[in-house]
Structure 1
Amino acid sequence: MTNNYLPPAKPLGVGILGAGPVTQAIHLPALARLSGLLEVRHIMDVDPDVAKSVAARVGAASSSSMDALLADPGVDVIAICSPHQFHAEQVIASCLAGKKAVLCEKPFAMDASEATRIAKVSAKTGVPILVGAMHTFDPGWLAAESAWGDLPATAHTIRSSIVLPPNSRFEDFATEILTRPAAGSPDYSDLEVVKGMLRGGVMGLAIHDLPLVRRFLPAFEDVEVLHAEIVQPFGYVISLKAGGRSIELRAAMTATWQPEWTFEAIGYDAALHIEFSPSYVQAGSATARITRNGTTTTYGPYGHNGYEGEWRKLAELANGTGTAPSAETLINDLTFALDIADGTAAAATAAAALAEKVPA
């Protein structure tokens, strides 16, 4: 009798650059549920005590050096969870180190030039790159994507709406280009502060859903931000047009509402409505509803969210199966976000100039 039993493959070793809140509260719990596929082997942070403490939770090695992590033979795949300005350098170094795949948090580069350099290195080394736009890996979103038919061609309005509890760590992260006043409260009368917060809101929060928005845009070279304002204490209301579509981006961090994260695409005879679970809750997948000709079909919720989904995809790519997003897709997603961020700053400047001309 022939023995056809094949023992399970050895889990892929994970190395994480950056041991901050996202690593601790999101990635480590997701990886714990995927222990058969992935195993955390090395955590690096510039603060050696933080690296050691977080690594001890999962029995991993720790260091305060990227080179030490990349040289670790037990590390097969890399997750980059460091501040934005280090992403490009670390993605490129991970590819050149011969790792099997790289997951980088958003944004994976600071500008299109950096993104192009990354794409060239990825192509040369053959190392696939995923950007952690977690909602694009959510099984609720994927189920809707397979069922929405011609909605991307017919949608005229796209909306992303985010309501989250106050989170000072996130506020500081999303507005890292600002120097906060000593009291910790931004000066909302300062145009440069407002412009910085708008850019931070786009690149730190709205960017989670901008790849979803792009799925409904045939083109975005004509991005025009019509209105942009800050919602206090932190948030934004942004209206824009691109590719013949009207797009609304809204966010608010306030203790007065339940957390809510929704995405909508509305066409003439069909509409998509998705409710995502808040990132830190680990509450399973999104629930998607597609309404067409008066009939609504619901997809989800499923057993895991987009964070677990992106790790599953990374393991798939590292094992030589599946298809990675094209370099063009990653670069276009980033360029779209940067164009909106620049547009919000320009809109705020124009609004301030108009306010000066209009008598009180």
Structure 2
Amino acid sequence: MSSHTDAARTLGVGILGAGPVTQAIHLPSLARLGNLLTVRHIMDVDPAVAESVAARVGATHSTSIDALLGDPEVDVVAICSPHQFHAAQVIAACRAGKKAVLCEKPFAWNAEEAAEISEVSEETGVPIIVGAMHTFDPGWLAAEANWGSLPETAHTIRSSIVLPPNARFEDFATEIITRPAGGTPDYKDVEVIKGMLRGGIMGLAIHDLPLVRRFTPDFEEVEVLEARHVRPFGYVISLRTPTRTIELRAAMNNTWKPEWSFEAFSDEEAVRIDFTPSYVQAGSAVTTFSRRDETTVHGPFDHNGYEGEWRELAAIATGTKQPPSAQTLIDDLTFALDIAEATVAAVDADHRAQQAVREGAHA
């Protein structure tokens, strides 16, 4: 039991992984929530990083997940490690009997891992939230509170991301998971293109896919119409379900101002949510509803989605709020994985068709 026994004790936070996302995003967010949460333990495989980051916040440091999970000062765990460790670390944190777990996306890398996490969470009673920060942004929550029947009536959904090139952002803040090693990628290599598209979906689009899914009741029947890589890093992906058209776009371009928007349209109304770039602490999203001749704006609000997810975690850990259902987390992940796999398959099919045409021309 913790040595901090006063009634007003804040929740102790343990963070697995002390890279740039922890340093630039989570620690500033937690610093604004000192009445709820206190960083108690920082773990990183690099002992110098663990020590220096922990020193900034007066926390214990270690290079061992067991040391952090065994620390009685740690009530809630944030998993900010490379994606391949997420599933095992979520399960270990649940088995350690912590009050709640926050895991960066993706929280699992396939449906089997997701199902195992769900079982362990149910068995141990430890709630999990996934750090898809847009779903915790007050701008999105305002949209949710005011959109009426739009999720049922929308026919077109669009996620558009335009960001300046930023290697650190690409590598860490969005957890791009298939960035080519050094030098200029070979854009003629279909495997490179497939890897970059998969990385774009699981690193960038994944922020908005839970929002897209909320407007897509038949999300399990999604198919890819077109998938195109945009150099140097980006994508244009057109999808459809029996009742919805979905467009996912991203580009990194020196000449455009940063823009990150989610839109949904029906015949009668539309919603647009403008998010701030995820690698800066620049406040909340702003939501705009357009209904015939009327425009309604909600926001900006006093905090962003990163702070929102920590507020949510604190509320869940103290029992003042119900956690999201495990099925919701699994459905969000499955939706992203299905789109990634279908996109790669579409690129493969297109590549084979082009090869066949070339071979036919030379026959």
Query: If the length of structure 1 is used for normalisation, what is the TM-score?
Result: 0.95
The amino acid that maps onto 1:204 is G
Partner of 2:335: 336
Q: Distance in 1 between matches of 2:129 and 2:179?
A: 28
Q: Distance in 1 between matches of 2:176 and 2:353?
A: 25
Going from structure 1 to structure 2, the CA distance change for 1:256 and 1:227 (only over 3 Å counts) comes to same
Partner of 1:83: 82
Following TM superposition, by how much is the alpha carbon of 1:178 offset from its aligned partner in structure 2, in angstroms? 5.5
Partner of 1:134: 133
Could you tell me whether the CA contact under 8 Å between 2:177 and 2:202 is conserved in 1?
A: no
1:38-53 alignment runs, 5 A limit = 38-53=37-52
Q: Distance in 2 between matches of 1:294 and 1:271?
A: 12
Q: Distance in 1 between matches of 2:52 and 2:241?
A: 46
Following TM superposition, by how much is the alpha carbon of 1:175 offset from its aligned partner in structure 2, in angstroms? 4.6
Pair 1:92-2:91 in alignment: yes
Number of residue equivalences? 352
Q: Distance in 2 between matches of 1:15 and 1:81?
A: 10
1:87-236 alignment runs, 5 A limit = 87-172=86-171, 174-177=175-178, 179-180=180-181, 183-236=182-235
The amino acid that maps onto 2:79 is I
The amino acid that maps onto 2:207 is H
Partner of 1:281: 280
Partner of 1:4: none
Cα deviation code 1:216-239 (max 9, x no counterpart): 011222110111111111111111
Of the structure 1 ranges 237-246 and 84-93, higher mean CA displacement relative to structure 2 is found in 237-246
- Point out where structure 2 has 5 or more consecutive residues left out of the alignment: 1-5
Could you tell me whether the CA contact under 8 Å between 1:175 and 1:196 is conserved in 2?
A: no
Cα deviation code 1:290-323 (max 9, x no counterpart): 1112211110000000000000000000001111
Partner of 2:3: none
SS of aligned partner of 1:36: coil
Q: Distance in 1 between matches of 2:146 and 2:186?
A: 46
Partner of 1:320: 319
SS of aligned partner of 1:75: coil
Of the structure 1 ranges 306-315 and 250-259, higher mean CA displacement relative to structure 2 is found in 250-259
SS of aligned partner of 1:290: strand
Partner of 2:53: 54
Q: Distance in 2 between matches of 1:191 and 1:87?
A: 28
Following TM superposition, by how much is the alpha carbon of 1:186 offset from its aligned partner in structure 2, in angstroms? 1.0
Could you tell me whether the CA contact under 8 Å between 2:177 and 2:203 is conserved in 1?
A: no
Q: Distance in 2 between matches of 1:206 and 1:81?
A: 18
SS of aligned partner of 2:219: coil
Q: Distance in 1 between matches of 2:65 and 2:350?
A: 44
Following TM superposition, by how much is the alpha carbon of 1:170 offset from its aligned partner in structure 2, in angstroms? 3.8
Partner of 1:311: 310
Q: Distance in 2 between matches of 1:285 and 1:176?
A: 26
Q: Distance in 1 between matches of 2:47 and 2:97?
A: 25
Q: Distance in 2 between matches of 1:302 and 1:8?
A: 30
Could you tell me whether the CA contact under 8 Å between 2:62 and 2:68 is conserved in 1?
A: yes
Q: Distance in 2 between matches of 1:151 and 1:178?
A: 37
Partner of 2:271: 272
Could you tell me whether the CA contact under 8 Å between 2:176 and 2:204 is conserved in 1?
A: no
Following TM superposition, by how much is the alpha carbon of 1:176 offset from its aligned partner in structure 2, in angstroms? 3.3
Of the structure 1 ranges 238-247 and 200-209, higher mean CA displacement relative to structure 2 is found in 238-247
The amino acid that maps onto 2:296 is T
- Point out where structure 1 has 5 or more consecutive residues left out of the alignment: 1-6
Could you tell me whether the CA contact under 8 Å between 1:221 and 1:243 is conserved in 2?
A: no
SS of aligned partner of 1:279: coil
Could you tell me whether the CA contact under 8 Å between 2:169 and 2:279 is conserved in 1?
A: no
1:55-74 alignment runs, 5 A limit = 55-74=54-73
Q: Tell me the C-alpha RMSD between the 2 structures.
A: 1.4
Report % sequence identity.
70
Could you tell me whether the CA contact under 8 Å between 2:190 and 2:351 is conserved in 1?
A: yes
Following TM superposition, by how much is the alpha carbon of 1:121 offset from its aligned partner in structure 2, in angstroms? 0.6
Could you tell me whether the CA contact under 8 Å between 1:240 and 1:248 is conserved in 2?
A: yes
The amino acid that maps onto 2:188 is S
Following TM superposition, by how much is the alpha carbon of 1:8 offset from its aligned partner in structure 2, in angstroms? 6.4
Partner of 1:3: none
Could you tell me whether the CA contact under 8 Å between 2:139 and 2:298 is conserved in 1?
A: yes
Q: Distance in 2 between matches of 1:349 and 1:305?
A: 39
Could you tell me whether the CA contact under 8 Å between 2:187 and 2:193 is conserved in 1?
A: yes
Following TM superposition, by how much is the alpha carbon of 1:243 offset from its aligned partner in structure 2, in angstroms? 4.8
Following TM superposition, by how much is the alpha carbon of 1:258 offset from its aligned partner in structure 2, in angstroms? 1.1
Cα deviation code 1:88-135 (max 9, x no counterpart): 000000000010000000000000110010011101111110000101
Q: Distance in 2 between matches of 1:154 and 1:297?
A: 19
The amino acid that maps onto 2:220 is E
Q: Distance in 2 between matches of 1:155 and 1:280?
A: 30
Cα deviation code 1:165-222 (max 9, x no counterpart): 2121343455534652xx5211110001100111111001100000000100112221
Q: Distance in 1 between matches of 2:241 and 2:27?
A: 37
SS of aligned partner of 1:281: coil
Q: Distance in 1 between matches of 2:170 and 2:66?
A: 30
